[in-house]
Structure 1
């Protein structure tokens, strides 16, 4: 459903605002810093100024007229995110002052974003007081165009939330790990699990040598359900970094583990030059599409191959969100297995991206994101200010997405040692966590005091198996681990719930968390064992109730369906 807002102003109001904007025109050169880093963010090095003639698309995010309305309601989207009329007057006057052609300006996201197409880097530097340069990531070799600081006229600071791309050094990273090797023991390992029979040991809990769809469908109780709303219900899988799946590998995987010969179809949507070459698949894309399809089959799937434009001038998340929010038909469930440390984003940028995820929720979309694979943080955990702080990951810290942590073993399941978790430095604790999170903090006491934001949004929200998943890659079986494999599993289960709702004439779940922390809580398997070490510490420990390793626990589809019935 789409909502449209028409703003009608009286002639007197228009004349007043036009005069007000004109009177403020001279101060456009009165620049004050909007955001900057004291140094280039860790793991990035400058390569100097970009080549002459380089252009970028600037996104100017405007502060909404009703600043908290979208978050409070998550409905009536366009009206809630629209800026104040005077904001548009001022910003347009500023752009005109700098010679930005009106033909290059378009309005997106319900009117709260101005997109400036093809702005030269030289002009952008002047417009926002920036110094754009090329930066290369020292580990991954990725090159992007960014600035370590930018400014806006004083008159605009109360009207503009952020400008992107600027100071957020967003470099998406997959949430999968190198598989750890396990002995198959005397239980048959892969051959046994192919039939849906877990391999076990004589320990107090049962261990899994290999994870396959039959085991997951048995463990999370989806075996008896057959989707009925294939003509309406769709599951989306988002790909970044030039990662593509292989339809041939999917066919082999589904034939072996779902006895399905027709499951090679997924529609590919290329966004911002994302590309698609199924002859050069990546493990991340393969595991995402294979396990999403295996859990939700025969629900249709869309794979979004998202690029970042020439010379790294665009932002992965904004490019995808801009596209998806402009669509008339959006998948009811979306799985994203990529993230970065929150410290590499400015607060304003994070709020802007998060509000777009909130808009998706208001449109009836359930977005699942992985929590990361570094426990509470990798390495020394020194933040941008030189302080040791635990390192939560973004966009997982956004309060308006559902974040998936990792588990392993069964009867009982325990937390995976790498499962990402913690507390946001940018976002305060949302209302749905006001009862669940304080219980954990009480149990934690003074341990790690000062190393995390005790009032921040806690992650993850839910969890699933995440170690030693069997996938097909280039025609061969191999194993993969990480919260990125847990995420499409949970997305597949949520897609089945949406299938049932749609097939019974009801609305899809949309934003999940208020329900998960409310009525849905009784349908989750609480995880009370394990920890997620990092930052030179033992990390957090799983306890009864919510914890920053496995969230509220793992899903039980049959019970979840019962809560919705």
Structure 2
């Protein structure tokens, strides 16, 4: 609802009791239009937008401090995860910030009843026509289209009054062209697929009892038995399934087909049959819960990502409860007059929902999506990172896929700042400092980084860079690739897992699927079982992994010491002993993680003898 022109002309006082504070407008946020995007016409003036205003959080530094203390086993606050109310107290904006922003909105005709808030009131949501948003932000919106057909209503620059600059952290959608992209890839080479379970059993016969990795693993079809044997969970019986939950994300209209999950469990984990009906699919902002695929979806491979994630998670972590967040509002978005909102910022939509949930949250959340970091405005990235930190502070291990283009796709490694200079291309949100990034490996005993080889159909796992001086000194990376990355930035991946030719069912057929979309749910399922054992032992769950991981937890991971992640027309960055930017600290060893956390697993009549080699 708009305030009448008469009230504004009379110089109405603030709804909060004071006079309006006016100052001249100045640019608050700007970001170059990414390569491959071009502007079309001005956005329709009566097109409705769902505008999100992020207010400066009251004490994020205090929240961050607590996050790192509670995630460090050597600190006396270790495991002291915050409640939702505790987090809200840290991030609630100051009265000054809240009052100033509300006065500004009221001055532009927005009444209190037009506003929606997050629980901590650090985000304000309003539905306004484009014309009103342009006036509010002193800008112009256009419809943009990308080379791959995505569309978005955006502006490369926006302003607010100068006195609000310290109180407003970001406003979206404005200059962010960032959108989630799935990392799963169906292998293109002509591998046979199967229509019934008898064919599967004939081609992939059940493994012998007490089988070794060599007996159950091959790179053509990586089965659930292989993963559970390789990483040491196959003999573990969960003890806390009623007290522990694992979750995953769907974006981009992805689906999870229960009939395919049933086929998967029938063939690879029959004792879990029925779990295909147990997991929850939670629709956020219109996210799909469909169970059928139309012709267009079949052609596009819709459901490959979703099925890969849920089948892998259930297969490894069953009977741990699984929740699936299906978030709508993601590209492509085609604006028209009848559309009531433009919510092309699905990460914020998802984070807003999850952070509003009561305690406890899932102990692990797996996300297999990402996009080029340079398409993300800094103000938007900071707010997403801050929200991810809130999840960690509440005891959630948040895992993101590192991406499938190594240090960047060949022919694409150029800056987006007008210079068109050569650069490595990190992904976001996997480059956030408050999550754990998962890279990819293949082969067995030893595992090596997945690499790009067109003749074999392999890909290369994503990798960012960081000021790890010992690694740089050992490899000469800073000399060879000087100027292509920020040596003082965030390194990723942190850890890795198998990610080639996972055996899943899609559209009733067996398919090999690859990508860090595979390694991420696999590692997430293993960590969910670690949390199960920790809960059973009366210990806190893992929470934010990285302080423990870099502080000594890496000793429980299988070091990957050979190979490289290619990209950007280079040989990429090599794996070495210890941390490297090809595979992080390596792949998980379930029993060693438990041992480092002080959990003893009984043998042989309890949870397994661990005689896997």
Q: What is the TM-score when the length of structure 1 is the normalising length?
A: 0.88
Compared with structure 1, are the counterparts of its residues 104 and 447 closer, same or farther at alpha carbon in structure 2 (3 Å cutoff)? same
Partner of 2:253: 242
Partner of 1:325: 355
Compared with structure 1, are the counterparts of its residues 490 and 199 closer, same or farther at alpha carbon in structure 2 (3 Å cutoff)? closer
Partner of 1:375: 406
SS in 1 for 2:544: coil
Partner of 1:221: 232
Partner of 1:481: 514
SS in 2 for 1:528: coil
Shift of 1:180: 5.7
Partner of 1:541: 574
CA distance in 2, matches of 1:112, 1:529: 46
507-516 vs 355-364, which moves further: 507-516
Per-residue CA deviations over 1:285-314 (Å, capped at 9, x if unaligned) read 000000011110111111111100774533
CA distance in 2, matches of 1:46, 1:282: 31
Is 1:307 the counterpart of 2:312? The answer is: no
Is 1:145 the counterpart of 2:153? The answer is: yes
CA distance in 1, matches of 2:356, 2:471: 40
Per-residue CA deviations over 1:237-260 (Å, capped at 9, x if unaligned) read 100000101101101101111123
382-391 vs 130-139, which moves further: 130-139
Shift of 1:401: 0.6
CA distance in 2, matches of 1:192, 1:411: 21
Aligned 8 A contact 2:31 2:377 in 1: no
Shift of 1:216: 0.4
Figure out how many residues of one structure are paired with residues of the other and give that number: 526
Is 1:73 the counterpart of 2:66? The answer is: yes
Per-residue CA deviations over 1:200-239 (Å, capped at 9, x if unaligned) read 79xxxx9622101100000000011111222221111100
353-362 vs 381-390, which moves further: 381-390
Shift of 1:192: 5.1
Partner of 1:119: 128
CA distance in 2, matches of 1:159, 1:190: 64
User: Residues 366-445 of structure 1 correspond to what in structure 2 (within 5 A)?
Assistant: 366-378=397-409, 379-385=411-417, 386-417=420-451, 418-423=460-465, 437-445=468-476
CA distance in 1, matches of 2:569, 2:201: 34
Shift of 1:484: 0.4
Compared with structure 1, are the counterparts of its residues 164 and 262 closer, same or farther at alpha carbon in structure 2 (3 Å cutoff)? same
User: Residues 337-376 of structure 1 correspond to what in structure 2 (within 5 A)?
Assistant: 337-376=368-407
Shift of 1:25: 2.3
Compared with structure 1, are the counterparts of its residues 411 and 102 closer, same or farther at alpha carbon in structure 2 (3 Å cutoff)? same
Per-residue CA deviations over 1:461-495 (Å, capped at 9, x if unaligned) read 00000111111111111100100000000000010
Partner of 1:262: 274
Is 1:82 the counterpart of 2:85? The answer is: no
72-81 vs 248-257, which moves further: 72-81
CA distance in 2, matches of 1:51, 1:346: 24
Aligned 8 A contact 1:182 1:209 in 2: no
Is 1:513 the counterpart of 2:523? The answer is: no
User: Residues 26-105 of structure 1 correspond to what in structure 2 (within 5 A)?
Assistant: 26-27=22-23, 30-38=24-32, 40-74=33-67, 75=82, 76-105=86-115
Structure 1 unaligned blocks of 5 or more: 1-14, 424-428
CA distance in 2, matches of 1:359, 1:289: 25
CA distance in 2, matches of 1:538, 1:109: 48
Q: 1:252 aligns with which of 263, 274, 281?
A: 263
Aligned 8 A contact 1:209 1:468 in 2: yes
Shift of 1:536: 1.5
Q: What is the TM-score when the length of structure 2 is the normalising length?
A: 0.82
Aligned 8 A contact 1:193 1:214 in 2: no
CA distance in 1, matches of 2:96, 2:21: 14
Shift of 1:559: 0.5
CA distance in 2, matches of 1:190, 1:337: 32
Shift of 1:44: 1.8
Is 1:529 the counterpart of 2:529? The answer is: no
CA distance in 1, matches of 2:89, 2:367: 28
Taking only aligned residues, the RMSD between alpha carbons, in angstroms, comes to: 2.5
Shift of 1:413: 0.3
User: Residues 444-459 of structure 1 correspond to what in structure 2 (within 5 A)?
Assistant: 444-445=475-476, 446-459=479-492
